[in-house]
A and B are shown apart, each in its own frame.
Chain A
Amino acid sequence: MIRKLLTGNGAAAWGARLAKIDYVPAFPITPQTEIIETIAHWIDKGQMDCRMITMDSEHSMITAAGAAAATGVRVFTATSSQGFLYGMEMIYTVAGWRAPFVLVNVSRGLSAPITLEPDHNDVLAARDSGFLQIHCATCQEVLDSVLFAYRLGEDERVRLPVIVNLDGFYLSFTREPVEIPDDKKVDRFLPPYDPEETHFRAGDPISQGVVVLGGSQYSYFRYETHLASLNALVVFEEVSIEFKELFGRSYQPVEAYRTEDAEIIFFMMGSFATKAKDAVDCLRSVGRKVGLLRPRLFRPFPVKAIIRVLEGKKGVAVIDQNLSMGKGGVLHAELCSALYGVADSPPILVSFIGGLGGRDIIREEFYEMAAVTMKAIERGETPPPRLLYTTEEMMRMKGLQSIARVEQLKREEKR
């Protein structure tokens, strides 16, 4: 075991290296590119026995990834944001091939307006695709999750591709101390990929992704994929035990932080949840009973694990780093559906939208969210959803708008 300062991207690349991947179809996109650069560098130095190939697009990249996995090799790929969406047709398609591989998505807000900084609308667009989704908050978790992801996806009860998600910039380019697990131990945790019946070879023909006629057959295969995804919940628990024995780190489908005696819970995903942890500590120091619940596994959605933590709580502040136009926060809707009708579930689920396009969420805003949630509990009334946006920000925005307006007026004058 070595301890090293790694960026989130570096950690993802290390995960791929330790997983002894065979094949990496690639396409550059900010903020993911460091991952494929790192792997390319290792291949050039002979440190990885792997083929990397740059495709003409993410659509082609995900096609090649799925096709290679369907042929029987261990595949890794990575993308981000617009690229992720460019390949979306294939994200849905390859999941149906039931050929496992790992795709690291480095989250970045979607166009328009175009930006480089993170939120989760990119990865959530694949919510219903059949890919499993693991969302990371630290660089260590990124490395570990890549290993985890292969175990989950390749399990015969699951057989699905897996997305490992990390936030662009905040995690992709932040260096943290990361334990790089011992190679031999990783081999014990993750033996070589056994493609079982999923392969193309002479004398043993297989047809993949074929046409079905009618809804009955279609429903069968689609629902089968859903059940396979749910199986990952069981597999996760098993893998988690093995992982802890070998590497000493424990991963659950959800991370619960200081939730046991908490009355209010922050509920959010990704690296911004580490900011929530800090806020929890501060609020605790002044006697507020606050905790954090972070789904690590988003697909399958760990409903039972979430209920276990939230049972008996008074209220939840759901912080969505995404926005479903015309509805609101995706995570909020997911949580509502998971808790509805469950006895003793928290009566108040307040929806906050924050961190869009990398907009920071500061400590004071967590205090405010806790206060709003507390007030809602006292009144027994859920306030309307709220965007985290300060008066100061609005002033700055108005300032920019007035510049844009002046430029426009100048042009009009010239005419």
Chain B
Amino acid sequence: MKESAFKSVKDLPATHVLGSGTPACAGCGALEGIKIFCDILGDKTVFVNAAGCMTLLTVYPFTPFRGSWIYTAMASAPAGAQGVRDALDLLIRKGRLKPKDDLKVVVLTGDGSAYGMGLSSTSAAIYRELDFIYICYDNEGYGNTGYQFSAATPHAARTATSKGVGGYWGYKKDLFSIWAAHRPTYVATVVGTEPLDMARKIEKAKDLKGSKLFIVLSPCPTGWRFEPAETIEVGKLAVKTGAWPLKEYINGKVVHTKIPLPRGKRPLVEEYLKRQGRFAHLFSPTRNEEVLEEIQARVDAYWEGVV
């Protein structure tokens, strides 16, 4: 593997490909992530979008993207990517498109699509070894509709459809493993608040042939309920506490790219949870020790399995 062009944060592009002034919420963690993708991928792209918050980035007649865009539907963005990729390949093969005018095909969906409705078309695209990049901006709930829980919502989070004392009854689906089980070219978890880790991963994957898939943890001020100014801190805490493991799957192996401090030395997950209104019921009026311990134990168990 050739050496990364990004040795430190200073090496990251200073000017951005993605335009500003989008309708995204202030402090949107997803937009942070997408910005980095655009910086590294450049403008020779076509984004194939599924219904979600980011659908609202292109509102007629405006778009922040320098490349092309097609909105499909909630379930079938990877199928749209298949159609575009195949058509580009056919046009090049038949001499109707110059190879230099080729585009990278990038699927952009939220977790609502990626973890649920879009799983069939994603599975099929990976299985067919579709040459594309998949960005799932994961804000752990159906954000665009007012933040109801999705299959990506973490245990105990309060959402618009889990307002009870216990919050969300379920546990976040392990999409990384589901994707990796298809043995694609590349899978990674990233977060916009760790731009160096993210840039290196995109850089590594972008020119590989096949399916390259990313889950971008996307701190969501409106859904997770924190101040927009705190997005960076919340994202960093997700990594530091071990709640959001940064890893990649390549050549049949899973490698963790940023390992948090060992147990006892790393901050407790509750430091991350405390910053978010969706977990406030775990701390007040009384601390819900049982649930907090359970969440901590799960994170600890995960890292014990890694190190």
Contact = CB atoms under 8 A, between A and B. Distances in A.
Interface of A: 22-23, 25, 49, 51, 53, 55-57, 59-61, 63-73, 75, 89-90, 93, 97, 200-203, 205-213, 217
Interface stretch (B41-49, B151-159, B256-264): B41-49
Interface in B63-86: 63, 65-73, 75-84, 86
B296 interface: no
Contacts of B9: none
A64 B63 contact: no
Given A56-B120, A201-B103, A64 B71 contact: no
Contact of A67 (B48, B60, B67): B48
How large, as a class, is the contact surface on chain B? Answer: 35 or more
B87 A73 contact: yes
A200 B46 contact: yes
B83 A65 contact: yes
A201 B80 CA distance: 16
Contact of A211 (B56, B73, B83, B121): B56
Contact of B86 (A49, A53, A63, A217): A53
Interface in B22-79: 43-44, 46, 48, 55-56, 58-60, 63, 65-73, 75-79
B123 interface: yes
B297 interface: no
B229 interface: no
Given A64-B86, A68-B83, A210-B59, A22 B124 contact: no
B68 A67 contact: no
A208 B69 contact: yes
Nearest to A211: B59
Contacts of A200: 46, 68, 70, 84, 87-88, 103
Contacts of A51: 86, 89-90
Interface stretch (B94-102, B204-212, B245-253): B94-102
A89 B48 CA distance: 17
Given A66-B83, A211-B58, A71 B88 contact: yes
Contacts of A211: 55-56, 58-60, 71
A208 B71 contact: yes
B88 A56 contact: no
B287 interface: no
B128 interface: yes
A23 B76 contact: no
A55 B82 contact: yes
Contact of B84 (A55, A56, A61, A71): A71
Contact of B76 (A60, A69, A75, A203): A60
B291 interface: no
A212 B79 contact: no
A362 B244 CA distance: 69
Interface of B: 43-44, 46, 48, 55-56, 58-60, 63, 65-73, 75-84, 86-91, 94, 96-97, 100-103, 120-121, 123-124, 128
Contacts of A72: 87, 91, 96-97
B54 to A, nearest CB: 11
B63 A56 contact: no
A56, A68, A90: residue with the most chain B Cβ atoms closer than 10 Å: A56
Nearest to A67: B83
Contacts of A93: 72-73
A66 B81 CA distance: 11
B83 A25 contact: yes
B69 A207 contact: yes
12 contacts: A59-B75, A60-B82, A63-B72, A63-B121, A64-B79, A66-B80, A67-B82, A73-B90, A200-B46, A205-B65, A206-B69, A211-B60
B71 to A, nearest CB: 4
Contacts of A89: 73, 75
Nearest to A207: B69
Contacts of B101: 201-203
B44 A202 contact: yes
| Interchain residue pairs A-B with the least CB separation, the first 4 | A67-B83, A60-B79, A71-B87, A56-B124
Contact of A213 (B59, B78, B87, B100): B59
A22, A25, A66, A201: residue with the most chain B Cβ atoms closer than 10 Å: A201
A100 to B, nearest CB: 13
Contacts of A59: 73, 75-76, 79, 121
A385 B121 CA distance: 44
Contacts of B58: 207, 210-211
Nearest to B47: A207
Given A63-B73, A210-B60, A205 B79 contact: no
A22 B120 contact: no
A90 B80 CA distance: 11
Given A64-B82, A67-B87, A73-B91, A210 B69 contact: yes
Nearest to A73: B87
A22 B60 contact: no
A208 B77 CA distance: 13
Contacts of A205: 43, 65-69
Contacts of A67: 48, 70, 72, 79-84, 87
Contacts of A69: 83, 87
A59 B83 CA distance: 13
Contact of A210 (B46, B71, B97): B71
Contacts of B75: 59-60, 89
A71 B85 CA distance: 9
A68 B59 CA distance: 23
A61 B103 contact: no
B282 to A, nearest CB: 37
B183 to A, nearest CB: 17
Nearest to B42: A202
Contacts of B91: 71-73
B102 to A, nearest CB: 7
A203 B43 CA distance: 8
Contact of B102 (A23, A202, A207, A209): A202
A192 B87 CA distance: 15
Contacts of A57: 120-121
A56 B123 contact: yes
Contacts of B67: 202, 205
A136 B301 CA distance: 64
B103 A202 contact: yes
